[in-house]
C-alpha cells in the first residue's frame, strides 16, 4: 500500500498526533507520500520528525499554480463543473478555484508516486481540496475529523456532508466528536468511526518520580488562545497565592493572547509565580512535565464556539505520570478519569479549579497515585501501536489496488539546479530544458527560489509546470536547525579550502539540505549547476548524496575566480565562456555557445527566445551537450549513489 497524506499546513508543532501516526505506519512498512498545501509558520521542529522517511512536498506558489490552471483548462483536466457548483452552492469565500489549483499539483504528485489512497487530517481546507483532487486523479481519500475543524473552521455543514459522503471513511478522534459528526452527517453515519489519537511511548520513557519540590510546580501547555482557559488558570493562581499556598506555574506555548496574559500576570503581581515560557520542542515539553508536579489545562468554549476536544498534551502529561486537572469538556473525560487519573471541573468554574489545584498541591501522595494511574491508562489504551490498528484495518478495507512502482527500475535522472527563476543571467534556460526534453534526456529542473516579482514570458509560462520549486525559507531554516552536526561539518569543510562568500554559502547549503531527500526520491545520479552560485549547492550535494556534478559558468560569475577554478576540478565537465579557462581542463568542458558576452548578443538571444528558435548555439551544440549529460547519468548505478548518501 502506498499512502498519501495531505495537510493544509505541515508540520504544526501542536499536532504531534499526526507525526506519531505517520511514524507508526512507516514502522509497519507503509510507504508514505506527504503533501502540504502551505508551509509551516515556524522553523521550530520536534526532534522525532527527523525520523520520518518520507519527505514533505509543498505546493508551488499560487503564481505558478495559476499557470497549471490555464494548462489544465486547455487539456481538459480542470474540474470546472465542480468549481462552478461549489462557488454557486457555498459562495466564493470558500475559494473553490484555489482549492482546485492546489489539487492539480497534488494530483500530479500522488499519481506520479503511485499513491493508492490519501488521508487528510482535519475536515478543513485540505479536506475541501481532497474533493477536487479525487475528481482530477480518481484517487480515493479518507479524513480524520477532530472537532474544532468541522464544528467551526470549515464553516459549512453542507460542505462537511459532501466531504464525508465522498470519503471512503471518516475517523473521529473521540466518541464525543464521532457522535456529533454523525448527527451532522446522518447519511454517512455508517462510515464515521471513532479512532483515538495515540502516543508513541518511545518518546516518553518510564517517567521519573516527582522531585520533592519545596514549591509544587504546575505545568500547562497549549496555544495562547481563549479556549485553553489560561485566563482562568492565572485567576486561580492569584487566589492560591492569596491563600498562602506555595507553588510555581509555568505555561508553555505561544499565540495571540501572549501580551494580554502577561499583562494580567503583571497586574495581579504574579510574575514571581507564573511564567510564560513560549514554544518548546516536544523534548523540552517532556522535560518540563518531568520536572513538574501537576498538569493543568482548564479548557473552555470561547464565544465563537471553539474548544478543545481531545488535547494531546494531556496524553503527554499522563505519559509522564503527572496528575491532570482539566474540565468536563468534549472528549476530555474519555481520557482523564475523574478521581482516578486527575480531577475534572466544570468549564469556566474558577472556584472548583482553585479547589482542585489546592487539593493536589497539598497532597503529594494523591498526586503520585493519580500520576501512576494516568501512565497505566495510557499504556493500556492509548499507545500508538494500539490506536493505529483501526486506521490500518480501515485502509486495508479501502485500498484494494495492488502497489504501484514509484519509479521504473533503472531509470536514473539528472537534476538541473536553478538558483533563481526567472533569471536575467539565464535567458535561455527554458530553451535549454526544451532541447533536452526533445532529446529525451531525463531531467528534473529544481528552482531553488522563485522571483515572484518577475514578469513571465509565454515561453516561461509553458515551462513553469515542468519546474519543481523548493519550499519557502521557513522550511529551509528548519532543515538547517534539524541537522546541527551536519551543518557544522559543512562549515568545517568550507574552511579547509578556498572560501565561498558567507551569504552565498549559507543560502546554497540550506538548498542542499532540502534537495538531498528529493534527489534520492527522484533517483538522481547527476546534478548540473546552471550557474556558479548553484555550483556551491551541487558540490555540497556531491558530499551529502554521492552524486556526480557538472556546471555552466556564466560570463560574469559572482564567485571568486580561484574558487571556481578549484570547484570545476571536482566536476565531470561543464560549459564555460572563458576560452582561457577552458584550456586548463582536460575533461569534457564545452565552449558555451548559449552564453552571451555583450548586450547586442543578449538581445539577440532574447529575440530567439521570443520566437521560439535558438539563434545562438545550433542543434549540434545541444546534441553534444545532451550526449555528455546522458553519459554522466549512466556512469553511476542507483545502488552506488544511494549507498554513498
- The answer to whether 425 and 609 have CB atoms below 8 angstroms apart is no
Q: CA separation (Å) from 46 to 222, 284, 481?
A: 15, 9, 11
Strands (E), 200-332: 217-221, 248-252, 274-278, 294-296, 324-327
Give the C-alpha separation, 148 to 122, whole Å. 9
Closest listed residue to residue 481, CA positions, set 450, 447, 517, 506: 506
Locate cell 520528525: which residue? 49
Q: Which residues of the chain have pLDDT under 50?
A: 402-409, 596-602, 604, 607, 610-615, 637-639, 641-645
- The answer to whether 102 and 38 have CB atoms below 8 angstroms apart is no
pLDDT digits (tens, 9 = 90+) for 182-227: 999 999 999 999 999 999 888 777 776 666 667 899 999 999 999 9
Note the residue count of the chain: 645
Cell of 168: 471512503
- Burial class, 156, CB count within 10 angstroms (exposed 0-12 / middle 13-18 / buried 19+): middle
pTM to 2 decimal places = 0.84
pLDDT digits (tens, 9 = 90+) for 434-462: 999 999 999 999 999 999 999 999 999 99
Phi, psi torsion values for 165, nearest 5 degrees: -70, -35
- The answer to whether 323 and 374 have CB atoms below 8 angstroms apart is yes
The DSSP secondary structure of 374-407, one letter per residue, reads: HHHHHHHH-BHHHHHHHHHHHHHHH--SPP--SS
Q: What is the DSSP letter of 338?
A: B
Give the C-alpha separation, 114 to 402, whole Å. 10
Crossing angle, helix 16-27 and helix 312-319, to 10 degrees? 70
Q: Domains in the chain, start-ordered, CATH in brackets?
A: 2-200+385-398 (3.40.50.2000), 217-382 (3.40.50.2000), 413-643 (3.40.50.2000)
- By DSSP bridging, strand 2-9 and strand 31-38 are parallel
- The answer to whether 458 and 587 have CB atoms below 8 angstroms apart is no
Give the C-alpha separation, 453 to 427, whole Å. 16
| Per-residue confidence (pLDDT) for residue 242, from 0 to 100 | 96
| Per-residue confidence (pLDDT) for residue 527, from 0 to 100 | 97
- The answer to whether 195 and 144 have CB atoms below 8 angstroms apart is yes
- The answer to whether 231 and 261 have CB atoms below 8 angstroms apart is yes
| Per-residue confidence (pLDDT) for residue 600, from 0 to 100 | 47
| Per-residue confidence (pLDDT) for residue 578, from 0 to 100 | 83
- Angular region, 439: left φ>0, alpha ψ -120 to 50, beta rest: alpha
| Per-residue confidence (pLDDT) for residue 36, from 0 to 100 | 95
Give the C-alpha separation, 487 to 493, whole Å. 10
| Per-residue confidence (pLDDT) for residue 407, from 0 to 100 | 44
Amino acid at each position: 500500500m502506498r499512502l498519501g497524506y495531505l495537510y493544509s499546513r505541515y508540520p504544526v508543532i501542536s499536532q504531534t498526533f499526526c507525526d506519531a501516526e505517520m511514524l507508526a505506519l512507516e514502522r509497519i512498512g507503509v510507504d508514505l507520500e506527504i503533501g502540504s498545501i502551505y508551509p509551516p509558520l515556524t522553523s521550530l521542529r520536534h526532534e522525532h520528525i527527523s525520523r520520518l522517511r518520507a519527505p514533505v512536498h509543498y505546493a508551488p506558489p499560487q503564481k505558478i499554480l495559476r499557470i497549471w490552471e490555464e494548462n489544465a483548462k486547455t487539456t481538459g483536466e480542470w474540474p470546472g463543473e465542480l468549481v462552478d457548483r461549489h462557488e454557486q452552492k457555498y459562495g466564493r469565500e470558500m475559494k473553490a478555484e484555489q482549492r482546485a489549483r492546489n489539487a492539480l499539483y497534488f494530483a500530479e504528485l500522488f499519481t506520479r508516486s503511485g499513491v493508492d489512497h490519501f488521508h487528510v487530517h482535519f475536515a478543513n481546507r485540505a479536506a475541501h481540496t481532497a474533493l477536487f483532487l479525487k475528481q482530477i486523479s480518481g484517487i480515493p481519500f479518507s479524513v480524520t475529523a477532530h472537532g474544532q475543524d468541522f464544528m467551526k473552521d470549515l464553516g459549512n455543514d453542507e460542505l462537511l456532508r459532501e466531504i464525508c459522503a465522498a470519503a471512503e471513511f471518516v475517523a473521529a478522534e473521540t466518541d464525543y466528536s464521532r457522535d456529533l459528526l454523525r448527527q451532522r452527517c446522518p447519511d454517512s453515519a455508517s462510515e464515521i468511526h471513532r479512532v483515538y489519537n495515540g502516543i508513541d511511548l518511545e518518546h516518553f520513557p518510564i517517567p521519573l518520580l516527582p522531585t520533592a519540590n519545596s514549591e509544587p510546580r504546575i505545568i500547562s501547555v497549549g496555544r495562547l488562545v481563549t479556549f485553553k482557559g489560561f485566563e482562568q488558570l492565572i485567576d486561580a493562581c492569584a487566589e492560591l497565592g492569596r491563600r498562602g499556598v506555595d507553588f510555581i506555574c509555568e505555561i508553555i506555548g505561544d499565540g495571540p493572547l501572549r501580551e494580554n496574559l502577561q499583562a494580567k500576570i503583571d497586574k495581579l503581581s504574579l510574575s514571581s509565580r507564573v511564567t510564560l515560557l513560549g514554544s518548546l520542542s516536544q523534548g523540552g515539553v517532556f522535560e518540563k512535565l518531568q520536572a513538574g508536579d501537576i498538569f493543568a489545562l482548564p479548557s473552555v468554549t470561547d464565544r465563537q464556539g471553539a474548544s478543545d476536544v481531545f488535547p494531546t498534551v494531556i496524553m503527554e502529561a499522563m505519559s509522564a505520570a503527572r496528575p491532570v486537572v482539566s474540565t468536563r469538556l468534549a472528549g476530555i473525560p474519555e481520557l482523564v478519569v475523574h478521581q482516578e487519573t486527575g480531577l475534572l471541573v466544570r468549564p469556566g468554574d474558577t472556584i472548583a479549579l482553585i479547589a482542585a489545584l489546592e487539593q493536589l498541591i497539598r497532597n503529594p501522595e494523591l498526586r503520585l497515585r493519580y500520576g501512576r494511574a494516568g501512565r497505566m491508562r495510557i499504556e493500556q489504551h492509548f499507545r500508538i501501536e494500539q490506536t493505529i490498528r483501526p486506521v490500518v484495518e480501515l485502509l486495508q478495507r479501502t485500498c484494494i489496488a495492488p502497489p504501484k512502482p514509484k519509479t521504473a527500475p533503472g531509470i536514473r535522472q539528472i537534476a538541473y539546479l536553478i538558483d533563481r527563476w526567472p533569471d536575467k543571467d539565464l535567458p535561455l534556460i527554458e530553451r535549454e530544458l526544451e532541447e533536452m526534453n526533445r532529446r529525451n534526456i531525463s531531467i528534473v529542473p529544481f528552482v531553488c527560489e522563485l522571483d515572484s516579482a518577475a514578469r513571465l514570458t509565454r515561453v516561461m509560462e509553458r515551462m513553469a509546470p515542468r519546474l519543481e520549486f523548493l519550499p519557502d525559507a521557513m522550511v529551509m531554516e528548519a532543515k538547517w536547525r534539524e541537522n546541527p552536526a551536519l551543518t557544522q561539518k559543512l562549515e568545517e569543510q568550507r574552511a579547509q579550502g578556498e572560501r565561498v562568500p558567507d551569504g552565498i554559502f549559507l543560502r546554497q547549503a540550506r538548498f542542499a539540505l532540502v534537495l538531498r531527500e528529493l534527489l534520492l526520491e527522484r533517483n538522481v545520479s547527476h546534478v548540473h549547476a546552471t550557474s556558479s552560485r548553484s555550483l556551491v549547492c551541487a558540490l555540497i550535494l556531491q558530499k551529502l548524496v554521492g552524486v556526480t556534478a557538472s556546471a555552466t559558468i556564466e560570463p560574469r560569475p559572482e564567485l571568486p575566480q580561484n574558487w571556481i577554478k578549484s570547484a570545476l576540478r571536482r566536476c565531470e565537465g561543464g560549459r564555460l565562456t572563458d576560452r582561457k579557462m577552458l584550456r586548463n581542463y582536460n575533461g569534457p568542458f564545452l565552449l558555451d555557445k548559449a552564453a552571451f558576452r555583450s548586450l547586442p548578443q543578449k538581445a539577440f538571444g532574447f529575440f530567439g527566445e521570443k520566437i521560439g528558435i535558438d539563434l545562438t548555439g545550433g542543434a549540434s551544440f545541444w546534441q553534444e551537450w545532451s550526449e555528455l549529460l546522458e553519459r554522466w547519468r549512466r556512469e553511476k548505478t542507483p545502488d552506488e549513489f544511494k549507498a554513498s548518501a
